[in-house]
Amino acid sequence: MNIAVIYGGKSGEHEVSLRSASSIIRNIPARAHRVIAIAIDKNGAWFLQEDAETERIRNDQAAVLAIVANPARRVSVIPGGGQSGAFECAGEKIAVDVAFPVLHGTYGEDGTIQGLFEMAEVPYVGGGVMASALAMDKEKTKLIWQAAGLPIVPFVAIKIADWQNDLLKEEMIARAERDLRWPLFVKPACAGSSVGAAKAANREELEKRVGEAFLWDDKIIVEPFIPAREIECSVTGNEAPVAYTPGEIIPSHEFYDYDAKYLDPEGAALKIPADIDEQTTKRVRQTAIQAYRALDLSGLSRVDFFIDRRNASLYLNEINTIPGFTSISMFPKMCEASGLPYADLVMKLLSLARARFDSRRNLRTNRG
Ligand SMILES: Nc1ncnc2c1ncn2[C@@H]1O[C@H](COP(=O)(O)OP(=O)(O)O)[C@@H](O)[C@H]1O
Ligand SMILES: [Mg+2]
């Protein structure tokens, strides 16, 4: 197979993407497959990387992809080009059997690049356009889970235009105070990495936190603050998804904030399997599959849960359709704990991508 690994990108998670893609490239056997490394710089331009770069990554376990933004090697994507003609560089076509967007967050996980692959008619790893876009939006995800009867944390969603209107703002605050219990938790609806996420103990703090969250998105979510254990579960598959051994994130901070995720080396301990009883494990896995199916997802996702420390209630928190994928990331580690090694996982995702493409190829798009 010619596998286009696409990484970097305009998102805040650019650096994580470089590390995830390095691990993935290292685990694609060079004898059997050709990796086409396509890097997206922070401005959003696509560049074909030299084969020497993938060689360097393969030969050094600690190496991380570096982006060479050579204007002569810009990549373009051609609508309708298909596997032999969708990608082009310097006037030459690049054959791509399957694309693996190793891009977290905006422009990677949110349906936008998935739409580009659909137009180009190239198979790609992960969820489709609608599922990816929905999963990126915490409000829409919750509404769908709620309609499916799945356990979500209660919430109030607020749009910036309403917050800027004094009357509507009062109404929103009154609704949060009525429906949710203090302390509250505020976060942007469509961000990640815990940016803009914070606890608010009173009305004054709430207004401050909401203002800060609006720096990241024009829609925010207010929830009760749950003193929670954070349980995660990997899911892969298309029509018949499977869930793997759950793991637990044990942050050393009050919650799993940006610093605990990326800056503080002692910010969090990862525990796989999670120290939960058999019945809870079963419930987590079942709920993860239901949550995945409710959004019509395909490929892979990491489903994140809370277990309330006060009463052991289980809640779905959020879902990540292109989760961190370094060799030490939770997603591949939880698959490994169920007996699926990293390299086999990568191959499984590539074949799921091709299976989804093939099964949809015969759908009619017109009556002619
Ligand atoms: N309602 C809540 N109560 C307590 N902590 C929360 C709540 N919602 C989120 N958090 C904390 O904030 C972190 C980030 O929130 P999350 O919804 O996972 O967004 P992100 O997409 O940024 O990861 C969570 O891992 C958790 O530690
Ligand atoms: Mg999260």
Q: How far is the CA of 261 from the centre of ligand 2 (A)?
A: 10
Q: Looking at the CA of 194, which ligand is closest?
A: 1
Phi, psi (rounded to 5 degrees) for 247:
-125, 175
Pocket (CB within 6 angstroms of ligand 1): 153, 185, 187, 191-194, 197, 223, 225-226, 228, 230, 255-256, 304, 317-318
116-122 mean pLDDT: 97
pLDDT digits (tens, 9 = 90+) for 13-39: 899 999 999 999 999 999 999 999 999
* Residue spans of beta strands (DSSP E) within 114-172: 156-159
Biggest distance spanned by C-alpha atoms of the chain: 65
pLDDT digits (tens, 9 = 90+) for 226-240: 999 999 999 999 999
Q: Report the C-alpha gap between 30 and 57 in whole angstroms.
A: 12
What is the torsion angle, in degrees rounded to the nearest 10, for the CA atoms of residue 75, residue 79, residue 82 and residue 83?
20
What pLDDT shows up at residue 339? 97
Atom of ligand 1 nearest to the CA of 304: 18
Phi, psi (rounded to 5 degrees) for 244:
-105, 180
**Does pLDDT of 95 surpass 90?**
yes
Element (H, E) at 204: helix 203-213
Which of 110, 140, 179, 187 has the most ligand 1 atoms within 8 A of CB, as the residue to mutate? 187
How would residue 100 be classed by pLDDT, with cut points 50, 70 and 90?
A: very high
Which of 11, 180, 256 has the most ligand 1 atoms within 8 A of CB, as the residue to mutate? 256
**pTM for the predicted model, two decimal places:** 0.96
Which of 185, 209, 233, 254 has the most ligand 1 atoms within 8 A of CB, as the residue to mutate? 185
Interacting residues of 39 by C-beta distance below 8 A, sequence separation 6+:
6, 7, 8, 46, 47, 49, 65, 67, 68, 69
269-298 mean pLDDT: 98
What pLDDT shows up at residue 105? 84
What pLDDT shows up at residue 12? 80
**Does pLDDT of 368 surpass 80?**
no
Domain 144-149+226-359 has CATH 3.40.190.10: no
How would residue 264 be classed by pLDDT, with cut points 50, 70 and 90?
A: confident
Atom of ligand 1 nearest to the CA of 153: 1
176-195 mean pLDDT: 93
What pLDDT shows up at residue 21? 97
The CATH number for 2-124, chosen from 3.40.50.2020, 3.40.50.20, 3.30.565.10, 2.60.120.580, is: 3.40.50.20
Q: How far is the CA of 18 from the centre of ligand 2 (A)?
A: 19
pLDDT digits (tens, 9 = 90+) for 32-63: 999 999 999 999 999 999 999 999 999 999 99
208-220 mean pLDDT: 96
Q: How far is the CA of 267 from the centre of ligand 2 (A)?
A: 14
pLDDT digits (tens, 9 = 90+) for 132-184: 999 999 999 999 999 999 999 999 999 999 999 999 999 999 999 999 999 99
Q: Where are the domains of the chain?
A: 2-124, 144-149+226-359, 154-224
Q: Looking at the CA of 255, which ligand is closest?
A: 1
Q: What is the mean pLDDT of the chain?
A: 96
Atom of ligand 1 nearest to the CA of 249: 25
Domain 154-224 has CATH 3.30.1490.20: yes
